[in-house]
């Protein structure tokens, strides 16, 4: 009789190898999601900063030399839309009266006259968006955050990050107002 020896070959992966591979994939996925969330927040902040500055420049140019921005509490959204001075990143609904403008974080944008000046009011601002928006509010007279439009303590830019974090993390703080 002839004896032949066959080497035992593994036909697949062991349970331990499969668990290890799944653990590595989970770590990679969690890291990728974290980076995506961070990049998405950063993109929204940049878009909102550019939009508020563009609205500020548009209102100033439309009303230059007039000495007033209309009666206090008058919304200037319709004027900006009609003059085609709304940034393309802001969605405009012309079926509503006054026109509704929606920013990158799916909140409303209202440009409101205070008589001799104006405000740009943003709603649906989360603390993740609020802190960098407040600290980056250069070019504005003041910025404030609160649970309602016009609420909160006005802060003069540049706003300290600790002050911005305290204001933004206040209960119900979702309105951010830039004052010209």
Separation CA 45–CA 42 (nearest Å) = 5
Which residue reads 């500055």 in tokens? Answer: 53
Q: Is 56 a residue whose pLDDT tops 90?
A: yes
Separation CA 143–CA 133 (nearest Å) = 9
Q: Which position has the higher pLDDT, 7 or 27?
A: 27
User: Shortest CA distance to 111 belongs to which of 66, 47, 64, 57?
Assistant: 57
Q: Which position has the higher pLDDT, 98 or 145?
A: 145
What residues pair up with 143 in beta bridges, in sequence order?
155, 178
DSSP 63-83: TTTTS--SSTT-B-HHHHHHT
The per-residue pLDDT for range 72-103, each reduced to its tens digit, is 889 999 999 999 999 999 999 999 888 999 99
70 torsion bin: left (phi>0), alpha (psi -120 to 50), beta (else): left
CATH fold for the domain made of 15-179: TcpA-like pilin (3.30.1690)
What is the pLDDT averaged over residues 150-172? Answer: 87
Domain-wise residue ranges, the chain:
15-179
pLDDT number for residue 50: 92
Q: Is 5 a residue whose pLDDT tops 90?
A: no
Percent of the residues in the chain that have a pLDDT greater than 90, as a whole number? 42
pLDDT number for residue 176: 87
What is the pLDDT averaged over residues 13-33? Answer: 84
């Amino acid at each position: 009789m002839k004896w032949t020896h066959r080497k035992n070959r593994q036909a697949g992966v062991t349970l331990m190898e499969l668990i290890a591979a799944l653990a590595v994939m989970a770590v990679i996925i969690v890291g990728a999601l974290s980076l995506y969330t961070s990049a998405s927040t950063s993109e929204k902040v940049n878009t909102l900063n550019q939009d508020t500055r563009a609205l500020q420049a548009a209102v100033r140019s439309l009303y230059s030399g007039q000495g007033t921005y209309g009666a206090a509490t008058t919304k200037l959204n319709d004027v900006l839309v009609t003059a085609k001075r709304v940034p393309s990143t802001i969605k405009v609904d012309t079926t509503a009266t006054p026109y509704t403008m929606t920013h990158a974080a799916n909140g409303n944008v209202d440009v409101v006259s205070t008589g001799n000046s104006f405000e740009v009011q943003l709603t649906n601002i989360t603390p993740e968006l609020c802190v960098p928006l407040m600290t980056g509010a250069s070019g504005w007279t003041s910025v404030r955050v609160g649970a309602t439009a016009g609420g909160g303590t006005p802060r003069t830019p540049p706003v300290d990050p600790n002050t911005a974090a305290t204001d933004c993390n206040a209960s119900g703080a979702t309105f951010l107002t830039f004052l010209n």
